């Protein structure tokens, strides 16, 4: 951890302006901390224009308004902690850390952003927000986890990362990925091509995430062997899935009966993750979404967790989370 040589010290009348010095431990190289061509340092400066930051050797000096200086000091402390645990520091990591500190997120940003979910294909998948970390923790601790929240919060992506990790660790011997193919179900008969071609567009997002985590060349072999199964929800009927990591995506588009059918496929040694966004239901108006009803049905059942992600967990373009909030306000009015 960075060693702070003093608490922020007032240097101007009224205590508004303070100076603060941080000594970076020798185990962290300054290039690692400040980024190639100082890009991390520039990201910090851009976020706190009122704070003067000077770096000399392994000392970082801060001067500016007390509140900002305190925040930058904590930020540097978190970045040092991340560098010590081998987490690459980028401007994105800086802005996520700032966001967590500014929002008063409980716990340390370094514990969230340095947490390793899956190492595969030469890279590591980590949570990008505190909500994402809570979600993957919930998956670890429960047999059935619901990840509910807006688009782009990583609900599917992180569930798949956990599934691939469980497969790598031999905790399960199969991954089953499924979606309620609402549109495909209605139109299958009218589309040309084999069944596989017909359902493909609906299952495409699941393949895309898989490509990020498993060598694309080995995916056909794994599918052939049944180690990975990607299929519409209707194909789950009548089966019992043992020793499997099962993900139901877009679960807002299931009926109550389909949700029950899906959840009762659970076999021994299996884990289930259900993801969905209750604000994006594509079902006919008269059909109740199984994702809406399930929470009250299973409220008192042990080992089932409902985890909520919010617009602050959106990892797509920044604007996406503003758009989600704007729609939520419009809906309410």
For binding to ligand ATP (CB under 6 A), which residues are involved? 125, 127-128, 132, 151-157, 205, 209, 275, 277, 315-316
Nearer to ligand ATP, 205 or 269 (CB): 205
H helical segments located in the chain: 30-34, 39-47, 66-84, 91-102, 109-113, 130-141, 155-168, 182-187, 195-213, 219-224, 256-263, 290-298, 318-332
Which residue's Cβ has the minimum distance to ligand ATP?
Answer: 154
Nearer to ligand ATP, 135 or 262 (CB): 135
Shortest CB 89 distance to ligand ATP, Å: 16
Nearer to ligand ATP, 22 or 274 (CB): 274
Shortest CB 266 distance to ligand ATP, Å: 21
Phi, psi of 39, rounded to the nearest 5 degrees: -65, -30
Nearer to ligand ATP, 28 or 307 (CB): 307
Helices (H) and strands (E) in the chain, counts: 13, 13
Distance CA 34, CA 56 (A): 12
Nearer to ligand ATP, 134 or 277 (CB): 277
Shortest CB 305 distance to ligand ATP, Å: 17
Shortest CB 160 distance to ligand ATP, Å: 8
Greatest Cα pair distance in the chain: 78
Distance CA 75, CA 96 (A): 10
Q: Say whether 236 sits in a helix, a strand or coil.
A: helix
Sheet holding 228-232, edge to edge: 228-232, 174-179, 244-248, 271-276, 144-148, 304-308
Shortest CB 155 distance to ligand ATP, Å: 4
């Amino acid at each position: 951890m960075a060693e702070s040589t003093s608490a922020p010290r007032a240097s101007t009348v009224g205590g508004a302006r303070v100076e603060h010095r941080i000594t970076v431990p020798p185990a962290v190289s300054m290039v690692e901390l400040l980024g190639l061509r100082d890009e991390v340092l520039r990201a910090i400066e851009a976020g706190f224009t009122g704070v003067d930051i000077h770096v000399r050797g392994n000392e970082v000096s801060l001067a500016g308004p007390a509140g900002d200086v305190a925040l930058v000091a904590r930020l540097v402390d978190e970045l040092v902690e991340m560098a010590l645990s081998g987490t690459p520091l980028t401007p994105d990591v800086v802005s996520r850390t700032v966001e967590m500190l500014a929002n008063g997120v409980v716990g340390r940003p370094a514990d969230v952003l340095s947490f390793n979910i899956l190492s595969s294909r030469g890279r590591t998948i980590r949570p990008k927000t505190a909500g994402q970390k809570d979600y993957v923790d919930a998956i670890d601790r429960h047999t059935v986890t619901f990840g509910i929240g807006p688009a782009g919060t990583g609900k599917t992506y992180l569930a798949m990362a956990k599934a691939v990790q469980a497969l790598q660790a031999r905790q399960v011997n199969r991954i089953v990925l499924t979606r309620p193919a609402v549109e495909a179900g209605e139109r299958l008969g009218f589309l040309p091509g084999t069944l596989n071609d017909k359902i493909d567009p609906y299952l495409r997002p699941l393949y895309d995430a898989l490509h990020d985590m498993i060598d694309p060349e080995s995916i056909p072999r794994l599918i052939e062997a049944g180690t990975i199964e990607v299929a519409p929800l209707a194909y789950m009927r009548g089966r019992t899935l043992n020793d499997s990591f099962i993900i139901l995506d877009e679960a807002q588009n299931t009926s109550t009966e389909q949700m029950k059918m899906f959840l009762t496929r659970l076999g021994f040694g299996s884990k289930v993750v259900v993801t969905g966004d209750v604000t994006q239901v594509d079902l006919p108006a008269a059909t109740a979404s199984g994702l809406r009803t399930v929470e009250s049905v299973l409220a008192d059942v042990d080992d089932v967790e409902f985890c909520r992600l919010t617009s602050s967990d959106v990892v797509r373009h920044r604007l996406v989370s503003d758009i989600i909030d704007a729609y939520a306000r419009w809906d309410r009015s």
